[in-house]
Amino acid sequence: MDFTNFFSQVLSDPNSPESIRILIILIGGFLVGLTSGMLIGRSLSKKWRKSAREDKESLNALQAKFAALQEEFDLQLADLQKSENELNETRARVTALTAENGRLSEELSAANNKIEHLEARVQADSALMEDLRHQILGQKARLKELSDESNEGAGAPISDTAMLHERLSEVEKKLPEIEARLRNLPSLGKKDDSK
């Protein structure tokens, strides 16, 4: 049987039983295809919706994670800036302390020089005081000699005795002044203890 003749016969007589069967088969096939397509489309649509929902949830989670990371980054950046500011303040303090250390070192050196100068002065004044004491003792001895000689009648000139008394009183007047100067000097014993 030739398909061309068969179709032309079916199409020429649409009310024939073969035409109705073919029409029913075509309509049944169309309905089966339409139903299958709708079912497949629905399942694909569900999968796509589910996939879209999962993608949206994943996107929301990633956005939330990004926001959290951005916030953490901002906090760390603020901490870094705070640390940088503290570092700059510390550097400024170190610079100031270094300058103060240098100044204090200079003051200490000047104080040590002054102490050495004062020690030399104390030694010189002590030596002068010792010398004055020896002179006083010598003058007292000389005065006693002269006094003894004048009592014995040998007689030393009175001008020598007066001169000796005058010199002795001068030296005695200078002695308290030197002792006062020595007392006014800083105590050297404290300096030695601090070393």
**pLDDT at residue 124 above 60?**
yes
- Mean local confidence (pLDDT), 56-70: 94
d(C-alpha 14, C-alpha 17), whole Å: 8
> How much is the pLDDT for 195?
40
Contact assessment for residue 175 and residue 132, using Cβ atoms and an 8 Å cutoff: yes
Using the structure block, give the residue that is written with the tokens 């949206």.
Answer: 56
Coil/strand/helix, residue 153? coil
**pLDDT at residue 146 above 60?**
yes
> How much is the pLDDT for 58?
93
Bigger pLDDT: 59 or 19? 59
Q: What are phi and psi of 164, to 5 degrees?
A: -65, -45
d(C-alpha 23, C-alpha 3), whole Å: 16
> Residue 22 contacts by C-beta under 8 Å, 6 or more apart in sequence?
10
> How much is the pLDDT for 189?
46
**pLDDT at residue 96 above 70?**
yes
State the pLDDT confidence band at 112, using cuts at 50, 70 and 90: very high
Query: What's 2's DSSP letter?
Result: -
**pLDDT at residue 65 above 80?**
yes
3-state SS, 72-115, equals: HHHHHHHHHHHHHHHHHHHHHHHHHHHHHHHHHHHHHHHHHHHH
Determine what percent of the chain is predicted with pLDDT higher than 90. 38
- Mean local confidence (pLDDT), 97-122: 90
Tokens representing 138?
A: 């010598």
- Each residue of 159-182: b (16+ CB within 10 Å) or e? eebeebeeebeeeeeeeeeeeeee
